[in-house]
Each structure stands twice: as C-alpha cells, then as structure tokens.
Amino acid sequence: MTHRVLLCRRLHPAGMALLEARADLDIVALHDPPVEESHQHLSSAEAVLCWLERLDQAALATAPRLRVVSRYGVGFDTVDIAACTARGIPVMVVNGTNDLSVAEHAMMLMLAVARRAVDADRHVKTGGWWFPGGPDMVDLAGRSVLVVGHGRIGSRVARYCRAFDMRVLVFDPLYHPARIAADGYQPVRDFHAALAEADVVTLHCPLSPQTRHLMDAAAFAALKPGAILVNTARGPLVSQAALAEALRSGRLFGAGLDVLEAEPSEAANPLFELPNVVVSPHNAASTEEGLARMARQAARNILDALDGKPDPAMMVNAEVLRQVGFTLS
C-alpha cells in the first residue's frame, strides 16, 4: 500500500533521506504553495508536513484521508488542534530539536541590542568610527533577566543567562515555583511585578488566547525603564503598536525580534525605522544543524504515525492515542 505524503515546502536532505528510503511513500513536495494548490493536494494526502502554513477547518475539510500532521517546528498555533483531535489525527512537533539553535539566537539578539552591534557595523562601514556622544552600550552581567516560559528553549536561555552572570527570574504558570527554584532560578508569579525588576525580558512561551499581546501597553508601562525585550517565540505575544511607542519614548533601551505580529512584514513597518531594533526573519532555528535535526524528527513523526506507532512525546494531542487505538511506541 502506498501512502501519499504532502510536504508544503522543500525539506532538508536529512529528512528527505528518511522519507525516500521508504518504498511505500508517494511524496509530493511543494514550496510555499497558494492555499488553493495546497488544498488540492491535501485531498489525497495521508500525511502533511507543514511549516507555518495554516491547517484550519477549511483546510482539514479538504483532507478526508489525512492521518497525521507533522510540524517543522515546536509551535502549533497554525493548526486547529481541536479539529484534528475530533478526527483522531495526531498533531506532531519536533520537541528537543531546535531549543539549542533558538536559545543561541535569543542570546545573539540580546547581545546585539545591548552592544548596538548592528548600529556599530553600519556606522563603521559608512565611514564612521566612534559613535557621536559615546557608545551607549550596556553589560549583561549583573542585570536581571525575566525568562517567560520554562520549557526546553526558555530553560536553556536561563542557563546561558546565568553563565553571563545575570540574575535570572522565571515566569511560567505551568511550572511549580519549587521546580523553578530547584533549577537554580528565582520563580515569579506576578508577571507585572516581575517586569518592574527586569533589565531584560526574553519570551519563550507558546501563543494562545491567554498569551496574545502578553506584552501590551500596560506591560510596557510596568517594565523597568531602559529594559531590553527579546522575542524568539511568536510575534503576536507582543503588541506591535505598544512596542513601537515604548521604543520611541525611550521607555525601552531596545528590542531584538525574530518574530513579528504579521509575517512576512510590510516594508513600511514602523519598527524598521527605529535604530534600537534588531530584526531577523523568523529564522532562529534555521542553522544548518537545527534544520537537519528538525527535518529528521519531522520525517520520523510521519513514518511513526503511518506505521501506527506515533511517539507521545512528540504529540500535541496525545489523547487521540486512546481514540483510535494507536500502539504506544
């Protein structure tokens, strides 16, 4: 029996090798297709590997044969989890594959803002040398960082920050304070109170109705003046309008962003006019090593599900195991 597998974009060779080694797969590889084209191919697909493409009810309605959704990442806000669960379709992510790459990127953004790395590079390459009026840079050592989210990425960033001799505060309502304290960090329960202590805020929580615009005008008003914001999680965690105002007013020292509220962004994005913002194109996980790790796991997730043995550790909706009688791996 042949299984139709739909790839919404080209997959790293490390993952393609695993899929192509199977003689029972019919692989359709697209590259960022229009919605109509992806829906057309979904009609015959048993497995789909998606990046940031939306798999909402309209898309799922075109996929009567679908047996597994594999995400090329750890976020799942673009997938209708409830609709997949109702149909017994496991939604799988690549846990443990991108935390190193994203954590390093978060530290890069933190340092780039603190040391005005992009400004300095541009200034020197256009004929300047010392900044007029001084460098206006800050050390990270001795400062307080608020890590929002204590999952794989956030906990790694916390370790890196501690290695930089920073005082590490952690906010994550899903973790007991004793667990956070046992890891060597200061747990906080009152988010706005913690913002008042933070020289740096770095976001590593999933996007949900509860976390959308977590950083809004009230949060920026509560934030310690002169702080740095880093976001490598999801753009809508931050209100772009409130962020722009906090940057323009001088409330923030600067921001390092791998994600934006709307992606891809319009060239006229007001954040792009501000010198104290460093932006990357949602590519924090996209190192050569990170892409290979994610591709291998995303491919394994498809194969495991088609073989009837999906790994619960990779599933967003593990309750479907009971619904459809999958064998635990």
The DSSP code sequence of 170-190 is EE-TTS-HHHHHHTTSEEES-
Over residues 203-212, mean pLDDT: 95
Q: How confident is the model at residue 329 (pLDDT cuts 50, 70, 90)?
A: very low
Tell me whether residue 263 is one of the annotated catalytic residues. Answer: yes
Percent of the chain with pLDDT strictly greater than 90: 88
Rounded to an integer, what is the distance from CA 120 to the centroid of its chain? Answer: 28
Other C-beta atoms lying within 10 Å of the C-beta of residue 219: 20
Provide the pLDDT confidence category of residue 326 given band limits of 50, 70 and 90.
low
What gap in Å lies between CA 87 and CA 222, rounded to an integer? 43
Does the pLDDT value for residue 300 go beyond 50?
yes
The mean per-residue pLDDT over the stretch 306-325 comes to 89
Name the active-site residue from 20, 263, 289, 319: 263
With 60 as the cut, is the pLDDT of residue 104 above it?
Answer: yes
Strands (E), 67-184: 68-71, 91-92, 144-148, 167-171
What are φ and ψ of residue 60, in 5° steps? -65, -30
The residue from 143, 282, 293, 296 that is catalytic is 282
Residue 214 carries which DSSP code?
S
Tokens coding 157: 């960033």
DSSP letter for 236, please. Answer: G
Phi, psi torsion values for 23, nearest 5 degrees: -75, -15
Range 305-322 average pLDDT: 93
Instruction: Please give the pLDDT value at position 36.
Output: 86
C-alpha torsion sign, points 94, 319, 52, 200: negative
- The C-alpha atoms of residue 195 and residue 288 are separated, in whole angstroms, by 35
- Tokens found for residue 176: 């007991």
Q: How far is CA 235 from CA 205, 211, 222, 316, in A?
A: 11, 11, 20, 21
Distance CA 205, CA 207 (A): 7
Which residue among 4, 204, 234, 293 is the active-site one? 234
Q: What tokens does 23 get?
A: 């003689």
Decide if domain 99-279 falls under CATH 3.40.50.720. yes
In this structure, what token pair is assigned to residue 215?
A: 């950083």
Give the per-residue pLDDT at 135.
Answer: 67
Per-residue exposure over 239-271, b if at least 16 CB sit within 10 Å of its own CB, e if not:
bbebbbebbeeebbbbbbbbbbbeeebeeebeb
Across the range 274-300, mean pLDDT stands at 96
The model's confidence at residue 103, banded by pLDDT at 50, 70 and 90, is: very high
Q: Which residues in the chain are classed under CATH 3.40.50.720?
A: 3-97+288-324, 99-279
pLDDT above 50: residue 49: yes
Cis peptide bond N-terminal to 209, omega within 30: no
State residue 327's pLDDT score: 54
Between CA 231 and CA 21 the distance in angstroms is 38
Which CATH topology does 3-97+288-324 take? Rossmann fold (3.40.50)
What mean pLDDT comes out for the span 272-298? 96
- At residue 127 the predicted structure's pLDDT band, cuts being 50, 70 and 90, is very high
Average pLDDT estimate for 173-181: 95
Is 234 among the residues known to form the active site? yes
Cβ neighbour number for residue 154 with a 10 Å cutoff: 26
How does DSSP assign 17-70, residue by residue? HHHHT-TTEEEEE-SS--HHHHHHHHTT-SEEEESS--B-HHHHHT-TT--EEE
